[in-house]
Every structure is written in structure tokens, then in C-alpha cells.
Amino acid sequence: MNQHLRTDPVPFIDIAAQRRRLGHSVDEAVSRVLAHCQFINGPEVAELEAVLAAFSGAEQVVTCASGTDALLMVLMAKGVGRGDAVLCPSFTFCATGEAVALTGATPVFVDVDEATFNIDVTSLKRGIAAARKLGLKPKAIIPVDLFGQSADHDAIGAIAGAEGLFVLDDAAQAFGASYKGRRLGGFGVITATSFFPAKPLGCFGDGGAIFTDDAEFAETLRSVRVHGQGSDKYDNIRLGMTGRLDTIQAAVLIEKLKIFEDEIVARNLVADRYARGLGNVVTVPHLASGSTSVWAQYTIRLPQGTDRNEFALALKAQGIPTAIYYPKSMHQQTAYRDFPVADGGLPASERLSSDVISLPMHAYLEEPTQERIIRAVRGALSA
Ligand SMILES: Cc1ncc(COP(=O)(O)O)c(C=O)c1O
């Protein structure tokens, strides 16, 4: 069949292909939970925390109900609240700043680097100054490892150290990626991730985890996870939440983690093929030296003057889905536009919001299908 004429739909993320590869292993893991009936805090939860610790290199892993809860639990455990400022990139998924606002603290939005999509340290310094000028107490920085690529943690850590702030890495899109040879979560920075199904390591529902090397802090997180419970179950010693990961999701994740390394390799092959096929017609993602990516998204920038909607429609007509992450940066959204931003504004975030578009990306994207996508992108741009 002539590939040029194909219009059958290509999946944006092929969870079904992964399901076929996993075969009966996940069904059997879930059946074991259905047989033992410990749906909350069953043995699979502790087992998952141990295998995640081994995978990441973190000393302590505290699983939880979502990536948003992971962020919120850390901020609650650290006592972040009213009068505090937490620095976040504006070009991110809303949960990053939302978790801050939910504590009563003020998210202060800073700009990102256009090449890596991750926090721009110059803007970060300006954001800290802006927070102080407003009478807020800067408490923390939440870098995001956007689209799967690690942020520049040394540069961010240096600023945090100099300013007396703690760092909470939002690795919701990047679990499995590394920074200077070490996996995210494995070098002492408190790290939160999400196991939402579309994430590089996803479960079959909502889930998340927190990684830390501090055993005492992990205990506080475990207390926050269950309503602030103390050693006496009915004497709650702090405010907390219902933040537990279901045992069934833990069982699913244990099976998925077994193929995750291999999937990361496959995702990188897909990214390399895109870079080779598209690098001379669009701006393809740039990997900073020392950072690897798990390619949660493959996000390109269209040449100036390209109509993004028409481009997306041209691909759609050929069965190729695209997505825009994010058409509005956080500081441009209704719920967040009154929060402060770094002096000088956030021009890079705004430019990215107007010209990025993401292409299908997953570990099961086979070469002929990817060739079809590449041809469609090139065709749409030359039309
Ligand atoms: C950067 C970022 N932070 C936080 C989250 C929140 O994760 P969840 O959807 O599991 O609550 C997401 C998920 O989409 C995300 O992409």
C-alpha cells in the first residue's frame, strides 16, 4: 500500500501496545491483589517503594495517590503556607503552581530557557528578588523536568543553597531521566513524580511518588499521607490528607517497572529518528549536556509564521494526532494571572506557548509509522 495515502489513525500514546507486550503479567498481578483483598497498604505498596528506590537510587520512596498529591504532601510536610513564596516555571502543567497555591503560599512564576524548556536561572534569581520586594518569604524552588528532560539541578541547587531555599523537583514527566549520570530522585533532591497513565511510567489510574534521602522527612510524609497520623492512630499530630496509592496500582507499576529501562531506550530511538527526519525543517528539542530525557513529549517548534492550527489540521487529515503543551503558560491562565512573576516578564514562556506542538511519542512507535509522521510534518510545512 502506498504510505502517502494512509490516513488510518496513529495513536498519540500507545498504551494498548504496551498492554499487549505485558501479556498476562499485569492481569496476574492484579488478580493476586483481588485474592488477598488488602486494597489499601497491601504488600505490593512496600514492594513497589523498594523497587523504585533501587531503580532511582533514592534512599526513601513514599508512594502516593497522584503527582499533584506528591507536590502538595512535600509542601505540607515542609510547613509551606501563607506569606511564603515558591518559585515555579510558568511554562508547565498547572499542577506545579496549583500545589503551591493550595497551601496558601504564593507561586511566583519565572521564565524558562527556550532551548530546553526548563527553568531559566537568571529569571529564577529575578523571581526571588520580586518575591522579597512583595514582602513574601521565599521558601522553595520547584524546577520542572519538562517533557522528560532533567532540569539543570546543579545551577538551581546553587541558587537554592545561597538563598536558603529547599528544592522540590517536579519530575512528573521525567521519572527515569538522569542528570550528570544519576537518575532523578537519586541525588538527594526531594523529587515528586506522577504515574498518570500517559506518563513514561504510568499505572492504570492515578498514582505518584516522592523520593528523598532523608528518613525523618519520609516519616513526616508518611504521616501527611494518612491525615497527619502520629504513633497513636487516633491522635493526629498535623494536617494531612488521604494520599495513599492503591495496592492495585502498585501491583501494576511493579510489572511495568520491569520493562521500563527497555522502554526508555526505545523512546530515545524514536526521539533520534525524529531529530534526524525533522531537524532541518523545525526546531527539534535540545538535550542539555549532562541531562537525559525519557521523552514524555516530543515537542517541536514551528518556523515563524506557520499557522499552528492549520498545521495540526493538515496532520489530523492524515490520521496523525498532535497536542499543544501548553497553549497558555501558567501566568496567562485565569486562576493564576494575579500571582507575581519575575521582573522582566516571561517572554520565553509566552513565545513557547504560541509556537510549540507535540508529536506522537511512545516506546512502541514503529519506524514505518514514524516515517509517515515525518513525511506528513514535512509536507504540511512545504504546502
Ligand atoms: C509537570 C507536572 N506536574 C505535576 C503533574 C501532576 O500529576 P498528576 O496528574 O498525577 O496529579 C503533572 C501531570 O500531568 C505534570 O505534568
Dump pLDDT digits (tens) for 248-287. 999 999 999 999 999 999 999 999 999 999 999 999 999 9
Range 197-224 average pLDDT: 98
Higher-scoring residue by pLDDT: 42, 6: 42
208 Cβ inside 6 Å of ligand 1 = yes
Q: Whose CA is nearest to atom 14 of ligand 1?
A: 93
Banded pLDDT at 146 (limits 50, 70, 90): very high
For residue 1, pLDDT over 70 is answered with no
Banded pLDDT at 4 (limits 50, 70, 90): low
In percent, how much of the chain has pLDDT > 70? 99
209 Cβ inside 6 Å of ligand 1 = no
296 Cβ inside 6 Å of ligand 1 = no
Q: How far is the CA of 173 from the centre of ligand 1 (A)?
A: 7
For residue 3, pLDDT over 70 is answered with no
Tens of pLDDT along 320-347? 999 999 999 999 999 999 999 999 999 9
CA dihedral 373, 374, 375, 381 (to 10 degrees): 110
Range 120-147 average pLDDT: 98
Cα dist. 347→106, 109, 333, 344, 350 in Å? 21, 12, 15, 8, 5
Residue 214's CB: how many other CB atoms inside 10 A?
13
96 Cβ inside 6 Å of ligand 1 = yes
Question: So what's the pLDDT on residue 102?
Answer: 98
Give the position, in ligand 1's atom list, of the atom nearest the Cα of 207.
Answer: 10
For residue 5, pLDDT over 90 is answered with no
172 Cβ inside 6 Å of ligand 1 = yes
95 Cβ inside 6 Å of ligand 1 = yes
Cα dist. 125→129, 160, 299, 341 in Å? 6, 10, 27, 11
Range 160-179 average pLDDT: 98
Tens of pLDDT along 68-103? 999 999 999 999 999 999 999 999 999 999 999 999
Q: How far is the CA of 68 from the centre of ligand 1 (A)?
A: 6
Range 289-293 average pLDDT: 94
* Among 194, 204, 206, residue to substitute to test ligand 1 (most atoms within 8 Å of Cβ): 194
* Among 63, 144, 196, residue to substitute to test ligand 1 (most atoms within 8 Å of Cβ): 196
Q: What's CA 135's distance to the chain center, in Å?
A: 31
For the chain, the average pLDDT equals 97
For residue 115, pLDDT over 50 is answered with yes
Q: How far is the CA of 133 from the centre of ligand 1 (A)?
A: 30
* Among 74, 92, 93, 293, residue to substitute to test ligand 1 (most atoms within 8 Å of Cβ): 93
Higher-scoring residue by pLDDT: 234, 136: 136
Give the position, in ligand 1's atom list, of the atom nearest the Cα of 66.
Answer: 10
Q: What is the DSSP letter of 334?
A: T
- What is the enclosing helix (H) or strand (E) of 192? strand 190-194
377 Cβ inside 6 Å of ligand 1 = no
Question: So what's the pLDDT on residue 233?
Answer: 80
Tens of pLDDT along 17-45? 999 999 999 999 999 999 999 999 999 99
Banded pLDDT at 244 (limits 50, 70, 90): very high
